[in-house]
Amino acid sequence: MTDNEIIKALECCFANTDCTGCPGRWNPHGVDCLLSAGVQALDLIKRQKAEIERLEYTLLGVMHSVDKWLEGEELEQDEVNRAITMREKTLQIVEEKQAKIAELQSEIKILKDSNINLQELYQNQKEKVAKAKQKVIDIAKALQAARGNQRVCGEVESGIP
């Protein structure tokens, strides 16, 4: 029988004197339905007790983790109120982190915009430097050409072959 059928059978046996609708009334083993319901009820109680112990152990582990974040009077509260306090603290931490994330995202946008401006400025300066280099090269060539002409002129004037 299922857990609900066991409960229904026990209700029929102890709350009613009528076996109509009792899920244990037609048990396949030919055993007295009250005895069958009792055996199955004992099994149900054992399973539920094991489940309660498992849940208590889980709760103990959870509360140990919760208690690490609590202090002072917060630790004197029962499990439910300690868990509520921890939830409130967690939500506050999440809100603070979300605000920090939004602030950092804003700063990242500003830095990206600044980076674009710096790249444009760098490109403009690079072009100016390239033009200035070309002017220096042109002036150097012109000076070199002028010196070459002076030498030639000077050599011719001084009579040096």
Is 70 exposed, middle or buried (CB count within 10 Å of its CB: 0-12, 13-18, 19+)?
Answer: middle
pLDDT reported for residue 161: 46
- The b/e string for 99-123 (b: 16+ C-beta within 10 A; e otherwise) is eeeeeeeeeeeeeeeeeeeeeeeee
* pLDDT greater than 60 at residue 157: no
Q: What is the DSSP string of 52-84?
A: HHHHHHHHHHHHHHHHTT--GGGGGS-HHHHHH
Query: pLDDT tens for residues 92-140?
Result: 999 999 999 999 999 999 998 888 888 888 999 999 999 999 999 999 8
User: What gap in Å lies between CA 46 and CA 21, rounded to an integer?
Assistant: 26
Q: What phi and psi, each to the nearest 5 degrees, are found at residue 32?
A: -50, 130
Domains in the chain: boundaries: 1-68
* DSSP 8-state secondary structure symbol assigned to residue 105: H
Global model pTM greater than 0.85 = no
- Tens digits of residue pLDDT in 3-45: 888 888 888 777 766 677 777 666 655 567 777 788 889 999 9
**17: DSSP letter:** S
